[in-house]
């Protein structure tokens, strides 16, 4: 299953000409999940992926730069005759916020489902899950971890045949974890012919947060950690007061969690990004500061490391949309 991450908004609470407010799109198989929806998110989509039919929106917290794009996006879907339900997840207070947003958008012509998530809750999807964990900000705030279950190891077909297993359906039974009986009456179990279990992939998005143990735990051995990096180390006191992290602190979390790639976002417009990167890389070398429209491709671990593709969402990179997948299967 293809998996990539598109950075639609990488800036702080005040957008600039080059960096919009918070929004990150994950494309996994045919599903499209949006994490935060800062002002102008639908415009960012139109300039890159197109206005894709989102399945779910996950809001990290209820500060305006993380949700002000919802009214326009919801209304645009309505004008486009959307009929499929749209699910919006977020922390405590989301439902109350929605009542205010609905005064702007009116009643949509499609169902909008609101779900307030608590730390420890998880949503099961086809082939993956999205779990919620609590982060440390000034208001109720969620981080989210998208992860896949471990996959069976590879079947050693040659060994299976030497043990008397005939090629065909019996191979499938072994791959599904069931023992099979061979013609001589003996039994061959999966652990005799299957390789080690292969790990799934994991992406963790913190939203705005101070460095915290919950993120370290959630991000353990993740392929990608998208972490708040609002300040530099010289401003650590200010970062703590406002519920944010420095680049150095984000790097420490990434190092301790043993992640593969760290993406620094929400960088204050007062900072020179190369200096922010230098600070982070002195602690965690594989740190990046994605620009808007950059893309990270995340292959299965045995096929390689995650890779940042500059401007990749505008270059036609990544998996096809669900509509295209459906057309190709017909």
pLDDT in tens, 42-67: 999 999 999 999 999 999 999 999 99
Residues recognised as catalytic: 65
Banded model confidence at residue 324, pLDDT cuts 50, 70, 90: very low
pLDDT at position 154, please?
86
* High-pLDDT (> 90) share of the chain, %: 84
**What tokens does 310 get?**
């500059």
Strand, coil or helix: 80: coil
Taking phi over 0 as left and psi of -120 to 50 as alpha, with beta for the rest, 108 belongs to: beta
pLDDT at position 316, please?
66
Give start and end residues of each alpha helix (H) in 153-287. 157-162, 169-175, 190-193, 213-218, 236-242, 247-257, 273-281
Q: Which residues of 285-309 are buried (b: 16+ CB within 10 A; e: fewer)?
A: ebbbbbebbbbbbbeebeeeebebb
HSE toward the beta carbon, residue 88, CA cutoff 13 A? 24
- Assign 3-state DSSP to the chain and report helix, strand, coil percentages, each to 5: 30, 25, 45
| Selection from 49, 45, 37, 52 nearest residue 90 by Cα | 37
Banded model confidence at residue 146, pLDDT cuts 50, 70, 90: very high
Domains of the chain by residue range: 3-151+198-329, 157-193
DSSP single-letter state for residue 136: B
Predicted TM-score (pTM) of the model is: 0.88
| Average pLDDT estimate for 108-127 | 96
| Average pLDDT estimate for 25-44 | 97
Strand, coil or helix: 302: helix
Least confident segment among 119-128, 134-143, 148-157, 297-306? 148-157
pLDDT at position 321, please?
44
**How far is 49 from 58, CA to CA, in rounded Å?**
18
Burial of 119 (0-12, 13-18, 19+ CB in 10 A): middle
Specify the pairing of strand 287-288 against strand 224-228: unpaired
On whether the 3-151+198-329 domain is CATH 3.40.640.10, my answer is: no
Contact 206, 144 (CB under 8 A): no
**What tokens does 218 get?**
């959630």
Residue 320 has pLDDT above 70, yes or no: no
| Average pLDDT estimate for 100-109 | 89
pLDDT at position 325, please?
37
Residue 22 has pLDDT above 70, yes or no: yes
pLDDT in tens, 154-205: 889 999 999 999 999 999 999 888 999 999 889 999 999 988 888 999 999 9
Count the Cβ atoms, other than its own, within 10 Å of residue 153. 15
What average pLDDT does the structure give for the chain? 93
């Amino acid at each position: 299953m293809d998996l990539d991450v598109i950075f639609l908004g990488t800036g702080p609470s005040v957008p600039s000409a080059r960096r919009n407010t918070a929004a990150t799109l994950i494309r996994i198989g045919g599903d499209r999940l949006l994490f935060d929806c800062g002002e102008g998110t639908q415009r960012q989509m139109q300039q890159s992926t197109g206005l894709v039919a989102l399945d779910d929106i996950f809001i990290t917290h209820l500060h305006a730069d993380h949700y002000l794009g919802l009214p326009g996006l919801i209304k645009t879907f309505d004008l486009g005759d959307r009929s499929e339900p749209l699910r919006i997840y977020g922390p405590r207070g989301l439902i109350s916020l929605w009542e205010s947003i609905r005064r702007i958008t009116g009643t949509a012509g499609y169902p909008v489902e609101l779900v307030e998530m608590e730390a420890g809750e998880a949503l099961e999807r086809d082939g993956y899950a999205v779990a919620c964990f609590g982060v440390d900000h000034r208001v109720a705030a969620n981080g989210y971890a998208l992860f896949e279950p471990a996959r069976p190891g590879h079947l050693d077909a040659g060994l299976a045949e030497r043990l008397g297993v005939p090629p065909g359906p019996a191979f499938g039974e072994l791959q599904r974890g069931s023992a099979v009986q061979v013609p001589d009456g003996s039994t061959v179990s999966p652990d005799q012919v299957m390789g080690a279990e292969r790990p799934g992939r994991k992406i963790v998005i913190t939203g705005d947060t101070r460095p915290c143990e919950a993120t370290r735990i959630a991000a353990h051995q993740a392929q990608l950690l998208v972490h708040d990096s609002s300040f530099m180390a010289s401003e650590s006191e200010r970062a703590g007061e406002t519920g944010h992290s420095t680049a150095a602190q984000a790097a420490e979390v990434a190092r301790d969690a043993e992640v593969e790639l760290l993406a620094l976002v929400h960088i204050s417009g007062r900072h020179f990004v190369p200096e922010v990167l230098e600070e982070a890389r002195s602690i965690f070398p594989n740190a990046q500061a994605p620009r808007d429209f950059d893309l990270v491709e995340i292959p299965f671990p045995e096929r390689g490391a995650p890779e940042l593709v500059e401007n990749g969402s505008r270059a036609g990179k990544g998996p096809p949309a669900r509509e295209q997948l459906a057309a190709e299967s017909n």
